[in-house]
Structures are given as C-alpha cells and as structure tokens.
Structure 1
C-alpha cells in the first residue's frame, strides 16, 4: 500500500526497530518546486557527505515554473546516485511519500532544496540513530541570507523573538524532542505509521513525528547536526509563507488539541488582542469612547507589543546600523501577524487549499 494512502493512528501502529548496522545505506529524499537558485548546491552538499555508507538521492519534482527540473535532470545524468520521481500534485507531503516509496535504503534523510548540510551531517546523524535507538534524529537549522532583507529574515528565524524558541532554532542540549527539523529517519518508523499525511500541507513534519511518538518511537534532538537554511528573500514572500504555516498549525490544533505546545497559540492571541487595541484607538480618536475613563486600557496590548518589538530589535545580534534594525523589526512583525492571522483563519475555516505560494 503506498505511503500516505492510509495514515495510521497511534492505536493502529507500533514502531519496532531492528538492529541498525554500523554503516547502513542512506536514502535522501527531497521535494523540489521552483528551486533553481538553490537546488544544485543542496544536492552537492549531499554528495559531499563524509559518510562512508552507500547513498542515493531521490528528487520529487513538482511542476516548477523555473529551471529546477532541467537542473535536476542534469544532476541525475551526471551521477547515477541521483534519481527523479514526478510529483504532479506539487504538495510537499505527497512528494516526500513518492520519494520515500521510490527509495530503498533503511535510513531515510529528509532534505530541502533550500537547505545545505554540513559534511558530517549524515555520519553524526546515523551515529545518533544507532546510539539512542531513535526513530528520527534532527539537529539545528541555522538561517542565512545574502541580501539585507534576507539577512533580516534569517535573524528572525534564528531568534526566539521570531519563531518562539523551538529547540532546533537554538543551540540546546541533546535529548528527547517533540519534533525534528528535516529528520534522519528509520524507514521502519515511517512505514509503521503510514508516512506523511497528504492532507496536511504545512506542519507535516510535526504531525508525522507526533504519530511516531504516539507509536512509541523516540525523536532525538542532536545539536551537533547543522543545516544552513536559505529563507524567503522578501517580506511579501515571508508573509505568504507564514500565513500558510499559521493556517495549517490551526488545522493541527483542531485535530490534536492539547498535543500542540502552548507557544503555537501565542500569535493568534496576539493578533486578536492587537485588533481589539486598534479598534479601541479608533473609537477613542473619534470620540465614541472617552479618554477620561478606563477605555484607554484597551491600548495596552498595542503599546506592549511595540515595546516588545523594540526590546527584541535591541537584543538580536548581527545587526549593523539603523537600516538593519528597521528590517529586523519589520521581519518580526511580518512573522507574528501573518502567522497569527493564518492561525485564526485556520481555526475558523480549516485549511482548505491554503498553500505556500511564496516560492512560485
């Protein structure tokens, strides 16, 4: 039965892992859509891994509008370890399931076309899989940028003031984790729970890891693993991405309730409180409400958020000059409000066909 055709609930599944050899063969799976700027470098960082075991790469090609598929075909022609599979549905979880089904090795490494692995990534990750008897191992995502805006967005990713302090955005200590960035999986664990859910268009990693955990599989955070991530390069694209992410987080809240960490509720609460503040400010300025009353207290969320953004901008490192600080502030506001607005949309209406078109 194809992966994703029947996503198993935790009651149906149990992760039972066989003993892993010292140098198990590894399959890298990568969904690709409009990634011509990053794809070749991403594939080369995989081929350059200092891991001595056998390797293969399966690229799931969506209907890209740029030269991604031509680049992928050239890479496959140059190296027999690179194979291609079509993903006409374009959605990430569908592409991942197709690539996993096409692959054959006992360790499955999820990679993204806009990410670059350090040379020791696979070696250290497989060692952690074996040592911890884990179902999945993930490390640290460190965002980077080339332009001033992309560098500001990277600072937002790397800061707890931007994404709320998930373990893989900081340094942290090794240990059992809730989820993992990308992930180095035991194939048995993925197959035991039925693969990625094709109906979850964002947050698919967290959802898969939740089912693995509920099936008694261990998710392990290994900060020695490092991945460079190239984020969106404009605030407009960042807003599209975070709106979709917030929407689908709300879908996961509707489905899994308290299994979601409290931090995922914060942006929706922020947007709600700011909306009340803005309405209160308008009514005060119009004279509908009196300043000589308790009504000005409605402005506290707006004032508090402005103070919080100022505090964050002053604390976040790697900024040079006023322009960088302004871009950092704009990035944080875009992240928070887009995510929170999407979250409220998802709570009210579900996910629908809200997808991230920012790389289109």
Structure 2
C-alpha cells in the first residue's frame, strides 16, 4: 500500500448539524483518493452524529471511524495522529466547510516554504441565526478578539497558530503529542511548544474555510469560559507571562465585580465611581456597533453587542475561576 500524501484527523462530538457537510467538503478535496486518508474520531456522540457517519460510510466509504471513549478533544487528536501514516497531518474540525483545494494549497505552501512546519488559514466565521451571524462578526472584530492575527480573515503571514492546521508529520516526533490533560487550549499549548523549538506557522487567506460559530448565548459562554479556564493551565505549565489580549477580559471582569460590590457602599455623588467601568465599556460597544447597525440592521447590531460582552465576560470569568481551581494545576 502506498504511503498517502496527507492524513486527515477529524475529532467530533455531537456535530449532527454540521458533520455531513463538513465531511463531504473533506472527501471532495482535489487530491487523489490514494493520496489521502481520513480518520473521524467520534467522542461517543449522542445527538445523531454517529448515525450520520455510519450512513455516509455505507454510501461513500472514504473514511475510517475511530471511537474516542474519553470524549476529550486532545485524546481524539492523538488517536488520529497515532493512526496517521501520511507525509502531512491535517487536524480539521467537524463544524467547518473546506474549499476543495484547501489541503492541496496547504501542502503546496509547506513544500514551497521550507522554514515553516505548519500552515492553515485565518478564521472566516459564519452563523445561521441572527445571534450566530452577530457572533461571527464579533469573532473577527479587534474589540472582540484583540490582536490574534489568525482570527483576522484577510491576514497573511507568520502567526502564533493556524486554524485547521496542516503539519509536517515529523513535528509530532520532535514536539510530542497534544496534552490530554487540557480540555481546551491544547492547540495553543502545542503551538507554544512549536515556538519553543523555533518552529514557524504561516497562514494565508488563499486557503478558505467557513467556521460555524456557536449559535446560542449559552453555548458561546461555555466555549469561552473553558478557553479562559484552561488558558490558566497552559500558563502555569510553561510559566509563561499572560499576554495583554488575555489580561484585558480578566481586568474587565474584575472591574465589573468591583463596580457591583462598591455600589453597595457608595452613596450620592460617589456612586458614579462604581459605574465608570461598565459605562465606558457600554459606550465603547455602542460606538463600534454603529457600522454594524447601518450595514446589518438593529437586530444584528444588538446581538453583536451581546456576543462581544459574552466573549469578554465568559473568558475573563473562566480565567479567574481557573486561577483558583486545582484542575489547572496539571502535573507533568
């Protein structure tokens, strides 16, 4: 059996809404069937994802399903990497649509730029509901995600990480596998180890993918709460300083707590000091939502304000909880 050019690892858990379209976009890549192998790592989904996968396998049979009994994303990634025998290894999401030349473009870039070990694309976020569409806008706005270059859809160049990355397989021999103790942020931690080794990541908007954002406030809050929480574990593991992008939501949440508590003790004119932080924040949100209002209407602009608030508050709260949690004190 010839060695495939690329091995694709697709962790999934309860992705019934998107798994079919996402997997079809991978199966329809412009790479010869003999040059690609696809592993879908199912975390024992309970929403019909497995039913969809098994039906697709009967129809197409171009991929392998592997059980991930733990349900954890880093475990799924490692299971796939261990099975992979391709020259390149792609870690793709099950809620993303990939352009037909995504993998071939990534491979061409890796073969052209010998100084990089990983490539991918910036996020192009999309939503279906009004809240989802607003969240997609929030996740590509500087006020929402700071200076994370891989979140800007038009950015090309070196970056701290890539969405939907394609790696040279030797990376895993040199850097190791994904940290299975991290429920979230295992990719950030892996990227940090790449950087420690002097390895480079390069992203380009020529590779286009459509990432489905969380469609409800509860799901979005849970996602970014976990990002903040597990970011603490990464910082403690490597003893790295917190970046400005990460500290701002934490300071904001701390300021909100201070404002709420101080409101009970301040009276008269002094009460104004307890509302300065939320007032400045709210005014800032109103200002940046004005272009959204004129382009997308009142409903999207309103949800845009809500989405950005959720991104900041959930991440900051998760980070603060993580600081005091034993779970983030991971032993290695």
Q: TM-score, normalised by structure 1?
A: 0.84
Please, which runs of 5 or more residues in structure 2 have no aligned partner?
none
Task: Please state if 1:211 is matched with 2:193.
Answer: yes
- CA displacement 1:318-351 (0-9 Å, x = unmatched): 8532222111111111111111100101112154
More helix as a share of residues? 2
Post-superposition offset of 1:99: 1.1
Number of aligned pairs?
Answer: 325
- Given candidates 56, 61, 75, the residue that maps to 1:75 is 56
Alpha-carbon distance in structure 2 between the residues aligned to 1:330 and 1:176: 31
Deviations 1:196-250 (A, max 9, x none): 0101111111111111221232211222212101111111111111111110112
The 1:173–1:159 alpha-carbon spacing in structure 2 relative to 1, beyond 3 Å, is closer
Offset of 1:82 from its aligned partner? 0.2
Please tell me whether the aligned partners of residues 293 and 301 of structure 2 are also in contact (alpha carbons under 8 angstroms): no
Hey, what's the Cα distance between the residues in 2 that align with 1:252 and 1:318? 40
Match in the other structure for 2:312: 336
Unaligned 5+ segments in structure 1 are 1-22, 354-360
RMSD: 2.1
In the other structure, the counterpart of 1:10 is none
Q: 74-83 or 253-262: which moved more?
A: 253-262
The alpha-carbon deviation at position 79 of structure 1 amounts to: 3.1
Q: Which residue of structure 2 lines up, in the alignment, with residue 17 of structure 1? A: none
Please, which moves more after superposition, 244-253 or 87-96?
244-253
Q: TM-score, normalised by structure 2?
A: 0.91
Matches within 5 A, 1:147-226: 147-226=129-208
What corresponds to 2:78 in structure 1?
A: 97
Equivalent residues in 2 for 1:1-360, closer than 5 Å: 25-52=5-32, 54-133=35-114, 134-258=116-240, 260-284=242-266, 287=267, 290-291=268-269, 296-316=272-292, 319-351=295-327
Distance 2:294 2:219 in 1: 22
CA change 1:352–1:253 in 2 (3 A) is: closer
